[in-house]
């Protein structure tokens, strides 16, 4: 859907697929067929404190009773599936569980603060649903996903590959009166878990035996096949844009196939010389393919690599050497270099 989320579909993201299908189906079922049962899924902290209805901390934080919140949160989960592909289902589930548990404590603190400073009783009006972990995912999204400029408008303002996702999050943030409490608690819990404060990532994690059990039982149900060749040409694109996108897609496929071939042939140890395997992509577009042999014989000077882009790739978990070689091979194109390192 967006360029920052990789290939389309839910391949290698069974947990994200389950979070899309099950809560959304239950939300529609309650809204259309069982409206009298919605009272059991209301997120009412006042009832938790006064009547000790602890079960509301679970039931009230799983299913969205507002269909608009269901739609927006489903779109965000679909775009955040890249983290499950990158970290694995167990680590992704541990992050969701940790932020889900921590957000309960932050909810109580914020509700009491609103009552103490402003005299507003918000405990019984918090929105229901799996919203806090969705807002918590904005923390790794901001920290680890590279920001690639797509278009520039009104001088300094620019549209990036992350703009539409932020707009969608803002839409969810403004969908209700007190949803900002859940949003702040989700962001705070995501920041605490992501920054590994007090070793929360070790205390609130999915046990290995549980991950293996769900992998054996539920993963076959929610697994998706690998997507076929994708057409990323948007509706309404001009002929020149379509031609350029086709050339970029073919160029990327050619580069990945060359890299995969050399990777199979290389011996153990050593580092791949990316510049020796293939020229930078931007230069290749301007070179006549008939003169390819002559251009490969000429030694090109080393390309200057942006340290900021190297730092971004290293924050994603790649080594400095691989980040340098990937950026040099892609002519400092951070998006292409990220695809290289993620897919290989």
Q: Can you say how many angstroms the Cα of residue 173 is from the centroid of all Cα atoms in its chain?
A: 18
The predicted structure's pLDDT at residue 4 = 46
Q: Please check whether residues 204 and 60 belong to one and the same domain.
A: yes
What pTM was estimated for this model as a whole? 0.68
Which residues are within 8 A (CB) of 111 and not within 5 positions of it... i.e. 6 or more apart? 45, 122, 123, 126, 181
Lowest mean pLDDT: which of 33-47, 62-76, 254-268? 254-268
219, part of any domain: yes
Whether residue 292 lies inside any domain: the answer is no
pLDDT at 186 over 90: yes
Query: pLDDT-based confidence at 14, cuts 50/70/90?
Result: very high
Q: Which of 224, 246, 274 is the last residue of a domain?
A: 224
Q: Assess whether 66 and 194 both reside in one domain.
A: yes
Q: Running DSSP on this structure, what letter comes out for residue 280?
A: -
Residue 123 confidence (pLDDT) above 50:
yes
Sign for the CA dihedral angle at 186, 190, 191, 197 comes to: positive
Question: Does residue 338 share a domain with residue 202?
Answer: no
Contact 334, 309 (CB under 8 A): yes
pLDDT tens track for 54-94 = 999 999 999 999 999 999 999 999 999 989 988 899 999 99
For the four alpha carbons of 163, 169, 171 and 173, in that order, the dihedral sign comes to negative
pLDDT mean across residues, the chain: 80
**Cross-strand bridge partners of residue 158:** 152
Q: Do both 218 and 312 map to the same domain?
A: no
For the domain that residue 329 is a member of, what is the CATH number?
1.10.8.10
Are 38 and 145 part of one and the same domain?
Answer: yes
pLDDT at residue 344 in the model: 60
Q: 174 lies in a domain?
A: yes
Sign of CA dihedral 300, 304, 310, 312: negative
Residue 295 lies in a domain: no
Closest CA to 205 of 105, 96, 82: 96
Domain boundary among 208, 224, 240: 224
Residue 128 phi/psi, 5° resolution? -90, 160
Is residue 87 assigned to a domain?
yes
Q: Taking 90 as the threshold, does the pLDDT of residue 28 lie above it?
A: yes
Residues 34 and 135 in one domain: yes
Residue 125 lies in a domain: yes
Q: Residue 268: is its pLDDT beyond 70?
A: no
Range of the domain at 315: 305-343
The answer to whether 303 touches 337, Cβ cutoff 8 Å, is: no
Q: How far is CA 338 from CA 35, 208, 226, 257, in A?
A: 46, 29, 20, 16
Q: Domain check: are 52 and 198 in the same one?
A: yes
Last residue of a domain, one of 202, 224, 246: 224
As given in the structure block, the two tokens for residue 171 are 């839409």
- H helices within 137-280, ranges in order? 138-144, 163-173, 179-194, 200-203, 208-217, 219-222, 239-265, 274-277
Q: Are residues 199 and 325 in the same domain?
A: no
Do 182 and 324 fall within a single domain?
Answer: no
Is residue 32 within 8 A of residue 44, CB to CB? The reply is no
Q: Is residue 299 part of a domain?
A: no
Overall domain count for the chain: 2
Higher-confidence residue of 183 and 244: namely: 183
Residues 206 and 333 in one domain: no
Residues 191 and 322 in one domain: no
* Residue 55, domain member (yes or no): yes
Q: Are residues 316 and 205 in the same domain?
A: no
Residues 23, 26, 28, 30: what is their CA dihedral angle, to the nearest 10 degrees?
-130
Residue 3 per-residue DSSP state? G
CA atoms lying within 13 Å on the CB side of residue 303: 20
């Amino acid at each position: 859907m967006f360029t920052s989320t990789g290939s389309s579909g839910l391949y290698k993201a069974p947990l994200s697929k389950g979070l899309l299908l099950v809560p959304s189906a239950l939300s529609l079922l309650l809204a259309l067929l069982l409206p009298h049962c919605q009272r059991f899924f209301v997120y009412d902290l006042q009832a938790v404190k006064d009547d000790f209805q602890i079960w509301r901390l679970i039931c009230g934080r799983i299913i969205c009773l507002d269909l608009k919140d269901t739609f927006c949160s489903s779109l965000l989960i679909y775009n955040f599936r890249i983290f499950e592909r990158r970290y694995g289902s167990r680590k992704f589930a541990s992050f969701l569980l940790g932020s889900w548990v921590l957000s309960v404590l932050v909810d109580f603190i914020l509700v009491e603060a609103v009552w103490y400073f402003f005299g507003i009783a918000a405990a019984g009006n918090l929105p229901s649903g799996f919203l806090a972990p969705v807002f918590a995912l904005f923390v790794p999204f901001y920290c680890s996903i590279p920001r690639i400029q797509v278009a520039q408008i009104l001088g300094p303002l620019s549209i990036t590959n992350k703009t539409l996702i932020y707009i969608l999050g803002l839409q969810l943030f403004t969908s209700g009166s007190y949803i900002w409490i859940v949003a702040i608690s989700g962001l705070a819990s995501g920041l605490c878990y992501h920054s590994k404060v007090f070793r929360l990532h070790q205390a609130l994690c999915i046990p290995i035996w549980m991950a293996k059990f769900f992998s054996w039982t539920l993963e076959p149900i929610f697994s998706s096949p690998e997507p076929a060749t994708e057409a990323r040409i948007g509706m309404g694109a001009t002929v020149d844009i379509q031609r350029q996108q086709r050339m970029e897609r073919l160029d990327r496929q050619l580069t990945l196939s060359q890299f995969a071939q050399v990777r199979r042939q290389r011996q153990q140890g050593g580092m791949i010389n990316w510049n020796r395997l293939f020229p930078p992509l931007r230069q290749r577009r301007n070179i006549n393919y008939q003169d390819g042999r002559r251009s490969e014989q000429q030694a090109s000077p080393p390309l200057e690599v942006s340290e900021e882009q190297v730092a971004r790739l290293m924050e994603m978990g790649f080594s400095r050497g691989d980040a340098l070689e990937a950026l040099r091979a892609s002519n400092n194109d951070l998006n292409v270099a990220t695809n290289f390192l993620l897919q290989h």
